[in-house]
Amino acid sequence: MWGGGFACAPADVLAQINVSIGVDKRLYRQDIAGSIAHARMLAKQKIISQVDAKAIVAGLEGILNEIEAGKFVFKDALEDIHMNIEAALAERIGEAAGRLHTARSRNDQVATGFRLYVRDGIDALDAALKDLQQALVARAGEHAASLMPGFTHLQSAQPVTLGHHLLAYVEMFGRDRSRLADARKRLNESPLGAAALAGTSFPIDRHATAKSLGFDRPMENSLDAVSDRDFALEFLSAAAICAVHLSRLAEEFVLWSSAQFGFVRFSDSYSTGSSIMPQKRNPDAAELVRGKTGRIFGNLMALLTVMKALPLAYNKDMQEDKPPVFDTQDSIMLCVLAMAGMVRNFTADTPRMEKAAGSAYSNATDLADWLVRALDMPFRQAHHVTARLVKLAQEKQKTLEQLSLKEMQSVEPNIRAEIFSVLNLRDGVASRTSHGGTAPANVKKAVAEAKKRFGL
């Protein structure tokens, strides 16, 4: 395609390092869409004939069908997806195929196809995250009143509900969807027609091709159009943050399904065994979600490193932009689908969770709050009194609610019998009615509100 001024073929090693068809062939649908839009625009602008444009479009549609049927033979000698398709088009329609590349370059061609691909990837990931949110919201509603320990420093802190805990992830994945939507808005400008780097002297209509491909507008600067990969970096960045959230939930599933916690159990379809220990049930899906986070982080760093010192405009280094994006898209989609399956699959041991919720003096804050409300005690003083009561309970190997009124009054004489209603776990959790709090009544409202806010 470019060898008219060259006296010999590339060296074998150059051919090997230059070829990208093994990676970029997955851009075939987007590349063909861009070529069809370009051909129709060329004909409308009378740059090529309507006859040639119709032949080009029909030929490209035939190639698309052949690729999707698995009958197309990709050739390494043709280097990339663009040249493979153009060569195949020439075989089908002859000389007219050579007119397709009028007023464009592989530089704007690949930039267009890659943007379309990332846009499709964002839409697919958004749909998968929405499904994961739906799964979480459904389970949150089911467990709006199921008590469990809330943790800080992985130490039992205050009792919460499982529904409230799951809704925290609904918020995280909602922010992920928001980041993807923002990235999509900035992505949705068309590079097509920027040609190699300087635009073209042909009277093309870039607004027409942008509209036909679903872009909001053409990119304003031809140098930027062919050299920008911010859209890929934003996708990788949003995916990396999303992977953090997936990994955190995966880690909790690993902990919760352990014998030491025993909060949840996964069915056989989401568990694996051991080749030597017959009793084992391993949460491998969660562990693999947690593990894939590292490669998703690495893909972001890889592309940042590729782009960090490139002068304008296009450089061949940018051929390395696709492997990290493709790998991240595959990995993050698999992780989201696996997590949605795990959320729908787990069975909660609610009695065990509730028992754990009452351990480690998790109702101490309720006691301190009562001292403030009932005795008008400054919170810092109430904190000190409560700490002394916890110490007393520890010495007597009792829970706070097992202390007698006399024992409590030995620390604070003004404590009254009504304190024991405050120390009841369910009453304590039900009292957390501040906006965003864990009270079951709040959780039920939050479930309904999340469905509306996130379009679930």
Catalytic residues: 153, 274
Residue 104 parent element (H or E): none
CB 99 within 8 A of CB 52: yes
The two tokens of residue 65 are 């069908």
What does each C-alpha distance from 169 to 101, 143, 330, 344, 436 come to in angstroms?
48, 14, 22, 14, 13
Pairing of strands 147-152, 155-161: antiparallel
CB 311 within 8 A of CB 222: no
At residue 261's C-alpha, the angle toward residues 275 and 266, to 5°, is 55
The two tokens of residue 398 are 């009792």
404: left (phi over 0), alpha (psi -120 to 50) or beta: beta
CB 223 within 8 A of CB 191: no
- Count Cβ atoms below 10 Å from residue 204 Cβ, excluding itself: 23
Q: How many angstroms from the chain centroid is the CA of residue 235?
A: 9
The two tokens of residue 101 are 């590349």
Q: 127 Cβ partners below 8 Å, 6+ apart?
A: none
The two tokens of residue 189 are 């400008």
What does each C-alpha distance from 132 to 245, 326, 339, 344, 383 come to in angstroms?
12, 21, 7, 9, 40
The two tokens of residue 367 are 């006691």
